Amino acid sequence: MDSGQKLVWHGEEAMKRITAGFGANLEDAVSFALGKVRRNLKKKQNRTGNNPSRPGEYPAEITSILAKNVTEWIDKAQLRGFIGTNVLYGKWLELKGIANKPGGRRWLGRTLEEEVSGIKAKLEKKVL
């Protein structure tokens, strides 16, 4: 039975809109996480000296070089987002913290773990 109506496929357009929506959610989530990471790196401690933070605390800000050099990279086409730094002692602090070695202060992974519900909420926003 032909009703004279044509079926029009909008799959490609729908996928473009969905991908754009997810890309916007990803950008929002990464930006949110980046802000939280920088905030935790800028926490002031009430101690002085070359290492004013204790094990288990976020690295205390002395020069703010690490906080200023934490950056994001987003690949909307592949729906991937990254946060990191090119400051070597940022890597040193994080990896020593993961290994529970003296001098380690987890700052990136710890922040992401603490903020997972907020990140997840940003990613799960409605896209259409």
Inform me whether the pLDDT recorded for 1 exceeds 60. Answer: no
Q: What does the pLDDT average to over 105-128?
A: 93
Q: Report whether pLDDT(27) > 80.
A: yes
114 falls within a domain: yes
pTM attached to this predicted model:
0.82
Question: Is residue 5 a part of any domain in this protein?
Answer: no
Quick check: is 77 in a domain? yes
Question: Would you tell me the crossing angle of helices 116-123 and 11-41 to the nearest 10 degrees?
Answer: 160
CB 66 within 8 A of CB 41: yes
The boundaries of the domain holding residue 113 are 11-123
Structural domain contains residue 3: no
Whether 107 is covered by a domain: the verdict is yes
Interval 74-101 mean pLDDT: 89
Distance CA 15, CA 85 (A): 33
Structural domain tally of the chain? 1
Q: Exposed e or buried b for every residue in 46-66, given b needs 16+ CB within 10 A?
A: eeeeeeebeeeebbbbeeeeb
Residue 45 has a pLDDT of: 62
Which pLDDT does position 113 carry in this prediction?
96
Domain membership of residue 45 (yes or no) is yes
Q: Which residue has the higher pLDDT, 51 or 91?
A: 91
Look at residue 16 and tell me whether its pLDDT is greater than 60. Answer: yes
Domain assignment of residue 6, yes or no: no
Q: Mean per-residue pLDDT for 52-57?
A: 75
**Do the domain assignments include residue 128?**
no
> pLDDT-derived band of residue 51, with 50, 70 and 90 as boundaries?
low
Q: What is the pLDDT, as a whole number, of residue 48?
A: 61
Q: Amino acid identity of 109? A: G
